[in-house]
């Protein structure tokens, strides 16, 4: 889809989250390819979600979404010589840059051994036409500033709304400009009372996720970011309502 011209809506979604939201995800933060920070200056958490078969929501539109997440720092390995990775490369990455979003208003976060505060998030579900991906994936940008990495931390995510479709871009600058506006739209949209109440949801406190349909992510690099059709059937990570699944969350880079 070609990027439209003209002013964008300042707020996305209805005043109360509507079906199929909320969608929930939980998994360990692992190393990915680092494209979000290295090329765009916008660090992301990358989730291989080819096919996007979400318990009957396989037709969920590609595009930009918003929600909340938390991090459980108690699950971070003490051995820093390597990091959990979605690929065979487990070497600790160099510190990333978030220069493209540096002037936006973010919360400063200091990692501890406990669960983090609730962070607003913006995420992309789609093919990323600018990079010509052949399978769908999820890339999460956490709206917070971090001084240190948190590879291995368990990430719990609640997706609450849709901002816009994904577009094809003629330049990297146009892509970054839209991502920056996506962040502003997400901040305003999540500030509404009905969305703020989701910050108290038990999923973000580490509750739920047990029982039927749960998949434990190993973080061992056994899954690829892009797979064939059979892989796509296995990469089910999100579920509607109060049900959730556990799987690998690949952090391509961390905010500096």
Catalytic residues: 139
Length of the chain: 256
The CA distance from 204 to 26, in Å, is 9
Q: Tokens 């609640």 belong to which residue?
A: 158
What is the helix (H) or strand (E) element at residue 173, kind and residue range? Answer: helix 172-190
Are 1 and 61 in contact, with CB atoms under 8 Å apart? Answer: no
The CA distance from 234 to 39, in Å, is 29
CA 187 to chain centre: 15
Q: Render 56-87 in DSSP notation, one character per residue.
A: T-TTPPSEEEEEEEEEEGGGS-S--SS--BSS
Closest CA to 181 of 160, 159, 199, 164: 164
């Amino acid at each position: 889809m070609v990027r439209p011209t003209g002013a964008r809506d300042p707020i996305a979604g209805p005043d109360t989250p509507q079906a199929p939201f909320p969608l929930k995800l939980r998994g360990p933060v692992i190393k990915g390819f680092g494209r979000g920070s290295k090329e765009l200056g916008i660090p992301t958490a990358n989730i291989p979600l080819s096919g996007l078969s979400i318990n009957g929501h396989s037709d969920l539109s590609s595009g930009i979404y918003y929600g909340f997440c938390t991090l459980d720092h108690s699950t971070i390995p003490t051995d820093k010589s390597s990091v959990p990775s979605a690929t065979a490369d487990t070497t600790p990455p160099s510190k990333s840059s978030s220069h493209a979003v540096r002037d936006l208003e973010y919360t400063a976060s200091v990692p501890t051994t406990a669960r983090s505060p609730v962070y607003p998030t913006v995420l992309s579900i789609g093919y990323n036409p600018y990079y010509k991906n052949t399978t769908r994936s999820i890339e999460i940008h956490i709206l917070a500033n971090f001084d240190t990495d948190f590879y291995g931390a368990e990430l719990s995510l609640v997706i609450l709304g849709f901002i816009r479709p994904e577009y094809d871009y003629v330049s990297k600058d146009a892509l970054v400009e839209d991502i920056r506006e996506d962040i502003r739209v997400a901040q305003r949209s999540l500030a509404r009372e009905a969305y703020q109440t989701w910050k108290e949801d038990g999923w973000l406190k580490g509750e739920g996720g047990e029982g039927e349909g749960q998949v434990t992510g190993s973080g061992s690099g056994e899954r690829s970011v892009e797979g064939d059709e059979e892989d796509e059937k296995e990469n089910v990570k999100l579920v509607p309502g109060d049900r959730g699944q556990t799987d690998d969350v690949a952090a391509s880079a961390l905010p500096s």
